[in-house]
Amino acid sequence: MSDGLPNLDARSFQMPDLGAPASAAPAHPPRILLLYGSLRERSYSRLLTLEAERLLQAMGAETRIYHAAGLPLPDDAPDTHPKVQELREAMLWSEGQVWTSPERHGAMSATLKAQIDWIPLPGGAIRPTQGRTLALMQVSGGSQSFNAVNQMRVLGRWMRMITIPNQSSVAKAYQEFDDDGRMRPSSYYDRVVDVMEELVRFTLLTRGVSDRLTDRYSERKETQAALDERMRLGAI
């Protein structure tokens, strides 16, 4: 072409109609799945997750916490394993998610990463997490750090999730929870409230329109090519 553009297939190169009314948003409460990254008996990432769940429920959300105890390492068991199936079903159920990890050796924990690695990538480039909202939190044993949340933010982008801007990092987490496992009042607690409030808002704002926000030319092109091939073979 004279303008130097590739020869695009017009059937695939169709922007979504942003002027069309959005589909009716479902009336159910926002469905939020919470994952945490430590299996210790007194896991501060689990305690922080439980605190986040209380806040989300108070804000009107429906929640599920996935407990990773018993989940095999990725590729070390068939995907029919009950814990894998439980995780995948919860992923599909969710509209938004919260990931909370301890910082281990300057990074997110293997326990949290293993949960994400069990999520399949079916349909070519389309991910089952695509379009879901995501909030990130971490706990640290020492001074405040953002290594784990920054790493999880990269992962959330890779999973094509709508990762909210706000995030929480709780330093010296062992000082921030009482003997009953409840988080003490502090600026750290206030930030957790901020993050959960923002997650609920983003989940409601993107409900019914997330497909428009994550719709991609390359995926439409791939879908059309597969449809053309099936038609050529007489499969449809």
Give 218-232 pLDDT, tens digit per residue.
777 777 887 887 787
Is residue 127 within 8 Å of residue 119, measured between CB atoms?
A: yes
Q: Which residues contact 110 (CB under 8 A, 6 or more apart)?
A: 104
**The two three-digit tokens of residue 59, written as one number:** 């804000």
As to burial, measured by CB atoms within 10 angstroms (0-12 exposed, 13-18 middle, 19+ buried), residue 76 is exposed
In tens, the pLDDT along 164-215 reads 999 999 999 999 999 999 999 999 999 999 999 999 999 999 988 877 777 7
So what's the pLDDT on residue 123?
Answer: 47
Q: Which residues contact 230 (CB under 8 A, 6 or more apart)?
A: 236
Q: How far apart are CA 236 and CA 225, in angstroms?
A: 14
In tens, the pLDDT along 27-56 reads 789 999 999 999 999 999 999 999 999 999
pTM listed for this prediction: 0.82
Match domain 31-232 to its CATH number in 3.10.560.10, 3.30.70.20, 3.40.50.360, 3.30.420.130.
Answer: 3.40.50.360
In tens, the pLDDT along 70-123 reads 999 999 999 999 999 999 999 999 999 999 999 999 999 999 999 999 987 654
Q: How far apart are CA 184 and CA 118, in angstroms?
A: 34
Q: Where are the domains of the chain?
A: 31-232
